[in-house]
Chains A and B, each alone.
Chain A
Amino acid sequence: MKILTLNFLTCARKTCKSSPAAFPLHPRDAELEIVETEFNALFIQNILPRVEWDALKGLCTELGLTNVPPEAPEPKELFDTSIKSAGIDEKEKEPTQLTRDLHNLLLETTIQSGKLVCGNCGHEYAIKEGIANFLLPSHMV
């Protein structure tokens, strides 16, 4: 499970939906693994405005990942503008190291096993072989 995915998920229980404490879920006993994926700089640029930065930072702190910028990066930090870019096509802009680091953090850093805990109800969801299980026992639905 990718770090980015956790920015879109919350506790599956209906009763937790309105609670701010149900997002983000808290990792526990997480085993991390880097899984390489295709680098798409435009994706990083356009997904950033949708990322809840504080939730991402909190999650990374809990996972012991320290390379997260304190604030969401500005679009101008993502591409190298030192080269004279007049006339250069949008697609040929050179991504910065920051963009590559964000790609590595958001899409390539994965939780292979562990648990995700709801900060509101305390329910634990298991992650096994990279797949998280959000199915609830029938009495909790």
Chain B
Amino acid sequence: MIAQTLMDGLIAGSMIGLGAIGITLTYSILRFANFAHGDLISWSAYFALSISTLLGTLAPGLATSVAPFSFGWSLPIGLAASIVLTALLALAVDWLLFARLRRRGGAIIILVMAGFGAALALRSFLEFLFTSKPYYFTDALQIAHPLAGGARATADQLLALGLAVVLVALVHLILTRTAAGRAMRAVSENQALAGLAGIDVARTIRLVWMFGAALAAVAGVMTGLLVQIRPHMGLDLLLPLFAAAILGGIGSVPGAMLAGLIVGIAEALCVQFVGAEWRAAVSFVILVAILLLRPQGLFGKAAA
């Protein structure tokens, strides 16, 4: 029983972790909490849904399930297209809103409020286009395979978990071993000095938006695959995402993923032992506790 709860928590937590990485990257570079990040997750799921449905209609063979998964090739293609489209959407929101406010020297609170506005607009537009009716990538039933300790998981769930682990490792390597990653970390620490060092700060900021959006796309599509697709799916994830980003320590990619897993497992344990109606409160309790006890998070550095 407990092994299954942990497995459920790990799977949900891995998606929270992917979303939290986007929030932590944006926050560490632009210094504001982007409340529209959850809606990028929702939009990514609808992008993938639209493209995979279109592909399935044009070439029905692409929609046929590829064992052991519940989906056909139309979904990975839809995911790849969704990554690009979500990145473009994030860049468009930045260009239309946040970049203009930054140029005007807008205070952090203005950027945060703008983020709220963008989130509302994105969500409402999604609801206008697709209604609030839930959608599913597939209606195929999957058998959960037995794993160690009595836990069970479907191939889709294991894929989501594996994908999250690979992506975190990849992002961590990019940040620590490549010129683009060094530039992102430099810009996050000191934009003026980064400029003096020859780093194009505006380009680096665009790169961060694209990175965060790409990870949001994977989280959105996999959440849509494992649960369902709704315009409010990103909003429902927002509190866990922020809890994970803050618990992990702002700016820390491994921290965000580990914290995502902790939040996911805590939610699963709460559902199991306290009651499903308290699930949403778990992230809030974690958020408040970490802010009171260790505001810099698990891997963050204390303010000087």
Binding between chains A and B: no
Measured CB to CB, the residues of A under 8 A from B are none
